[in-house]
Structure formats: structure tokens, C-alpha cells
Amino acid sequence: MSKNKIWELIAKKLSGEATEEELSELEHLLRGNPEMHYPIQTVADLWHHATPETEDAHQAFATHAARMKGLGMDIEPEPIYPTADLPGNNQKKYLLLSLAFIVLAIAGYYSFSLFSPKPAKTLAKAVPDKSEVSTKYGSRTYLRLPDGTQVWLNSGSRISYDKAYGINLREVVLSGEAYFDVIKNPAHPFVIHTSNINIKVLGTAFNVKSFPGEKNSETSLIRGSIEVTFKNQPSKKIILKPNEKLITANDEPVKQDTTSGVIQEPSPTATTKNTAGITKKEPQALVSHLTYEPHDNTVIETSWMENKLIFRSETFEDLAVKMERWYGVTIRFADEAIRPKRLNGIFENETIQQALKALQLITPFTYKIDNNEVVISSK
């Protein structure tokens, strides 16, 4: 019911008919249904193009229906919307809703092709008893696991699973970042292995970011629930609820209030000793809420799914790592003093040159681009 209401309010917002109360209600509903942000963004993009004629909408539906049937999916007959006798704005609203449901039906298959169709940069290979898919920098891809679970793989990421997937467990190994929409199957739990944590689910949607060499890993839950355990402390478990994220410091210590179950931010030097008196590090963990972009309620943790690179109070050094993956370049600092500069912004359709020029408006620096290498210097 809430999703139908969301679409109704989105239609009013895009047609300029939403009241302040309805906009507030829409904001509240989107915070409770963060998985709706991507399909809504896609529909908004369609809206801002020229209004399609009714025949065009029917043709679009027929085209997508043919593609879906080719993938073995059943689809309802084409809906008929009574648009002929409606005023312009209402006719446009009905057409928008028609396209919205089309987008929802095909989003799982074509979401990445809408904004980043770069199959040549996606590497799939098979080794004995194992399948692996990886993406190069500047590329993202979509894949469907044997059980129907959908995976969106961000740039510079790799996922692998063995040929026994689904027989007893559904296990994958992730290096990098991916968004999962897991098919529910209580008899066969879905488990993701990263460098320092294991994530166990039955059926849910969530984002995992665990890049080699980065200080932190993040697990962001959109819907359902997941159980996270630490590889060097398998007895410790953290259960995430929707709109929560778990931040774990790679190879850093942990501090947990065992009486309340609350994860607290530890001091960097926290350690424990076992019975033999040997000091051992534990993984640091912190549970917090998902973060939203104020002007459109985009979930920042999954904004890459909407082809947005959002950064908030990010050091230039950390942002450079993300830009390397985003644009497929190498960034080198000729001046160490620039690395800690804090930056805020959003990149969406900008080229690397446009992105760098935008950053120059925030902090002074110069740059040179030689092939795929960017050198940042003081101004």
C-alpha cells in the first residue's frame, strides 16, 4: 500500500500538483522504503524528457514485454489507461505511472544498462568448480546468480561462487562493493564472505562495500534483516535492521557492551588478552543509520546505483580513491598538503575534467592529465 502511495505522490510532485503536506508525507515514506530511490530516479529521468504520446507509451511497453518474455519472464497484458479524455497534466500523470510500473518490472534486468552500458569492461571467467565476475575501474555491471538472486557490482569489484552454489549453502566471496537483492530460501541461507566479516541472510536487499586497502568496510541494510559475524570472532554476532549500516574497521580493534549488546566506537588502541596473556586485536564495529541527501532523499550509501558519486566531508585523499574507481584513472598527489582537505559535492554525469574543475571551486589546486594519470599539485 505504501509503495502505491509513493507512486501517487511522485506523480503529483513531478506534475507540480503536490501540496507541502504531501511532499512531507512522500519524504517520510521514502525514508521507510529506501529501495524505491533508484526506480523513482529512473522514472523522474523519463518525466523530464519530452512527454511521450500514448502510442509511444504502448510501443515502449510492447518492446520491454518482448525483451522480458525472451528472458523467460511472464508479464501481464499491456495495461490500458484512460488517457484520451484527460486534461494534459492528468494524461501525463497516467502515462508516468504506466512507465513507472514498466520500469519497476524491468529494473532488475536493465538498471545498469540505463546509465552505464560497458559490457566490454566486465570480466567473467570460469575456473574449475568456480565462477567469477569482476568489473574494471569506470565500469559497473549486473548479474543474476543461479537461484535468481540479483547482484549489482560496482567498479573495481569482484564476486565469485563455486559450482555447488545452492546445493547446501548459497555462498559468495566479495571484494569491492555490491548491492544484493536476495531470493528468500530459508532452507539455503545466503552467505557473503569479505576480508573480515561474514554476512548471513535469508532474503533481503542490502549493500556491501569492502575494498582491499581501505580503512573501513560498510554493510548497509535496505530491507529485511542480516546477521554479521567477524572472522576472527565467530561467536560475536550483530543483527542489522532496515535503515541501519554496520561500519567495521579493517584490522582494527573492537569494543562491545556485552550487557546491552550495543556496539560502541572504541579507542584505536583497544586490545584483549586471552588466557595465555597474548594480546589479540579484534575488529572495530559501529552501527549507525543510513544517510540521506537532503534535497532528494537519495540514500548516499547506495547512490552509486543511481550513477551518483556523493561525498560529504571527505578528505581529498579518500575522494581520490573513489574517483579512480569511478573514472578509471590513477590520481597522484604532488603536494602532500592537499591530501587532508575536506570536500563536499555530487558527481553524476561529469567527465573527469569537469569533476576536477568543480573541485577547484572548493579548494585551490592545479592538475595535469596524462593519458589516464591525474597529478594534483598546489596552486
For 308-377, the fitting CATH number among 3.10.20.30, 2.40.50.100, 3.55.50.30, 3.40.720.10 is: 3.55.50.30
Residue 25 clears pLDDT 90, i.e. is over it: no
Residue 4 clears pLDDT 80, i.e. is over it: no
Predicted local distance difference test score (pLDDT) of residue 100: 54
Average pLDDT over residues 210-230: 92
Q: What is the pTM of this model?
A: 0.65
3-state secondary structure (DSSP) of residue 208: strand
Name the band, by pLDDT with cuts 50, 70 and 90, for residue 187: confident
Nearest to 202 by CA among 192, 189, 191, 193: 189
Nearest to 181 by CA among 167, 163, 166, 201: 201
Residue 267 vs residues 217, 252, 277: alpha-carbon distances, Å: 18, 10, 21
Residue 2 clears pLDDT 90, i.e. is over it: no
Which range, of 30-34, 108-112, 279-283, 339-343, averages the lowest pLDDT? 108-112
Nearest to 149 by CA among 170, 125, 124: 170
User: What are the residue ranges spanned by the domains of the chain?
Assistant: 2-110, 119-289, 308-377
Nearest to 175 by CA among 211, 218, 139: 211
pLDDT digits (tens, 9 = 90+) for 73-112: 444 444 444 444 444 555 555 555 555 555 454 444 444 4
DSSP single-letter state for residue 292 = B
Q: Does domain 119-289 have CATH number 3.30.420.480?
A: no
DSSP single-letter state for residue 278 = -
Please name the residue ranges forming H helices in 328-367.
352-360
Predicted local distance difference test score (pLDDT) of residue 264: 37
Residue 223 clears pLDDT 50, i.e. is over it: yes
Residue 280 vs residues 213, 272, 285: alpha-carbon distances, Å: 21, 6, 16
